Amino acid sequence: MQLGNSALVLAIALVSGQAFADPLQKSEDIVKFFAGESKLGASRGICVGSEDECKSKSETKEAPAKQAGLDMLVNFGLDSAELDATARAELDEFAKALKDSRLSSLSFVVEGYTDASGTVHYNEGLSQRRARSVTAFLTSSGVDAARIKAIGMGEKNPRSPDPYDPVNRRVEMRISTQ
């Protein structure tokens, strides 16, 4: 399955302190989002004409901007890879979505991240533990382990320009393009 370089991000912001609540994303919403995005690149057009002609044709046919990712909140404490009740509720909905037949052909990469607190070496290990924690929860919820792969990314690619911002402590799930 080839989806090109436009793999999707299911960003899970890891922020501490939120009380248990209903999941932000329902499994059906997640299924619809990823089922539609898995068809990226299915149709491509060729324009014959000058650059200006082709540009004007593509501008008139452009669809409304699509959401770049699907955000879910998962709470991890500082220096922790433990899932709290809110995180478990969110991931339970994600697990339900992954077990849906419309997503059964897709595989996912679970990428763990940290903020800049701690050494680079320590943060790589912590990010790996976070990714494994999410992966373990998903497999214990019935998702086939062969469909998900955990990777620790350390403090690379922060979501916030402030390297110490708690929003940088997260896990992102992408559709695997391999």
pLDDT in the model for residue 20: 34
Q: Supply φ then ψ for residue 155, to 5 degrees.
A: -100, 15
Strands (E) in the chain, as ranges, are 9-14, 72-74, 108-112, 148-152, 170-175
pLDDT in the model for residue 167: 87
pLDDT in the model for residue 26: 85
Residue 70: closest CA among 27, 132, 115, 107: 27
pLDDT in the model for residue 48: 55
pLDDT in the model for residue 31: 87
Q: What is the pTM of this model?
A: 0.70
Q: How far apart are the first and last CA of the chain?
A: 7
Taking only the tens place, the pLDDT of each residue in 60-108 is 444 444 444 455 556 577 899 999 888 888 899 999 999 999 998 899 9
Which residues of the chain fall short of a pLDDT of 50? 1-23, 40-45, 60-69
pLDDT in the model for residue 116: 94
